[in-house]
Amino acid sequence: MAMNFLRNIYNWTLKKAENKNSKWYLSLIAFVESSFFPIPPDILLIPMALASKARALFYAFICTIFSVFGGILGYAIGYYFYNSVGIYIVEFYHLENSFSVFENYYKEFGILIVLGAGITPFPYKFITIASGVFGLNIFLFIIISVIGRGLRFYLIAILLYFFGEKIKLIIDKYFNILTIVFFILLLGSVFIIRFI
């Protein structure tokens, strides 16, 4: 049932990728995912890049820029509003117990943690809020976020540009397995944060 729902979303996104408004949906998802929304922009980026190889790098640019803007919002939530807003976002993902443990790692490896979270399926919103809470230098945060998020989204776009049809065939053939693997990676990242 859930797999059929996800496949329908995937197929719908492929059809809508040429829609003039698709880039605005991608911008919105990339922005909100960096501070509170649970679904990563890759869910839109991949089918949109598959549907229009010529725009793949442009879509990666949109994801990178709006993800960093969303990251700045997440940073502000952590820095200014953690006790009133940020704590609810962290509790929603059941990561409140990890926050105090995470602080020690953050002081020592803050930049590397932001970079790693920008590239991997690690919940980036947790890192953006933590960066604000722990006072990571905002300029370093922005630079590392651009690098990390850029690497992630441009790598996806470049792979899809060169191997789009082959990748599309693989996705179509193994959609259910790939969906399960994606959610295992996502949940695994949350598990690692909680039990560091």
* Cut 0.85: pTM above it: no
- Helix, strand and coil content of the chain, in percent to the nearest 5, comes to 85, 0, 15
Rounded distance between C-alpha atoms, residue 116 and residue 35, angstroms:
16
Instruction: Please say if the pLDDT value at position 1 is more than 60.
Output: no
Chain mean pLDDT for the chain: 79
How many angstroms separate the CA atoms of 70 and 56, rounded?
Answer: 21
Tell me the pLDDT tens digit for each residue of 56-99. Answer: 999 999 999 999 999 999 999 989 888 777 777 777 766 666 66
- Tell me the torsion sign for CA atoms 14, 20, 23, 29: negative
C-alpha 51 chain-centroid distance: 21
CA-to-CA distance for 139 and 127, rounded, in angstroms? 15
Q: How far is CA 105 from the centre of its chain?
A: 21
Query: What does the alpha-carbon distance between residue 69 and residue 48 come to, in Å, rounded to a whole number?
Result: 21
Residues in the chain: 196
Cβ-proximal residues to 73 (8 Å cutoff; 6+ apart), any chain:
31, 34, 35, 128
Task: Pick the range with the lowest mean pLDDT from 29-38, 41-50, 67-76, 105-114.
Answer: 105-114
Q: Give the pLDDT score at 75.
A: 94
Grade residue 40 by pLDDT with cuts at 50, 70 and 90: confident
24/192: higher pLDDT: 24
